[in-house]
């Protein structure tokens, strides 16, 4: 995973060097709040799980945010008007967003999924329109205002994922749900063993 993460980070650095005025702003995290649960590969989740396992205080915080997220989703589903799939799933904040003295930050930043690393300044395909930019709508608007799409030369997102093509994929929340359930079961079993 380390090599893939380095490639993604290098692609981001390349984009930021080429277009220094066009970068995700530190502390924005709009994508983390409004783009749902990113698709995560099993090998990526293993790195995240290892990270979490070595930080039990973080697991408790994530568990609380995950529970709040589930309650928010349940409230949306119980509302008088039925939400669209987009409203129900993609308007949810990532449970790994944590408050810090500098503002909200990713609590798993060093092991975040590849899709998070590639978000911002990469292309889904050669740029023809703003929709080809793998970034949030506000950033797409800025790109479109600043540069004609025909002149945009950003790294493609797809090659970054080729090494993971045969790896099992799920949403990050799906992996997290299983992990939290298993860790709660393990803690309960350990309590009964005492």
Phi, psi (deg, nearest 5) at residue 165: -55, -35
* Residue 183 burial by Cβ neighbours in a 10 Å radius (0-12, 13-18, 19+): middle
Indicate the pLDDT class of residue 94, thresholds 50, 70 and 90. Answer: confident
d(CA 131, CA 129) in angstroms, rounded, equals 5
Instruction: Give pLDDT, residue 72.
Output: 79
Residue whose pair of structure tokens reads 């810090």 in the numeric block: 100
Instruction: Give pLDDT, residue 97.
Output: 87
pTM of this structure: 0.79
Q: What number is the average pLDDT over the span 53-76? A: 86
Q: What number is the average pLDDT over the span 153-177? A: 84
User: In the predicted model, is pLDDT for residue 67 greater than 80?
Assistant: yes
Cα-Cα-Cα-Cα dihedral sign, residues 94, 95, 101, 105: negative
Q: What number is the average pLDDT over the span 18-35? A: 72
Instruction: Give pLDDT, residue 115.
Output: 85
Indicate the pLDDT class of residue 89, thresholds 50, 70 and 90. Answer: low
């Amino acid at each position: 995973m380390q090599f893939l993460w380095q490639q993604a980070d290098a692609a981001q650095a390349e984009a930021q060097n080429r277009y220094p005025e066009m970068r995700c702003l530190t502390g924005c995290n709009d994508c983390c709040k409004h783009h749902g649960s990113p698709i995560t590969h099993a090998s990526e989740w293993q790195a995240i799980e290892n990270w979490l396992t070595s930080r039990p205080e973080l697991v408790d915080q994530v568990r609380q945010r995950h529970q709040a997220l589930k309650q928010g989703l349940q409230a949306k589903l119980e509302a008088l008007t039925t939400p669209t799939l987009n409203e129900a799933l993609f308007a949810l904040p990532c449970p790994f967003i944590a408050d810090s003295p500098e503002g909200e930050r990713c609590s798993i930043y060093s092991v975040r999924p590849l899709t998070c690393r590639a978000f911002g300044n990469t292309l889904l395909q050669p740029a023809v329109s703003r929709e080809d930019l793998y970034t949030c709508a506000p950033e797409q608007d800025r790109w479109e205002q600043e540069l004609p799409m025909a002149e945009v030369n950003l790294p493609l997102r797809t090659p970054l994922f080729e090494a993971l093509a045969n790896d099992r994929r799920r949403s990050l929340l799906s992996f997290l749900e299983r992990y939290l359930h298993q860790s709660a079961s393990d803690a309960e079993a350990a309590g009964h063993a005492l």
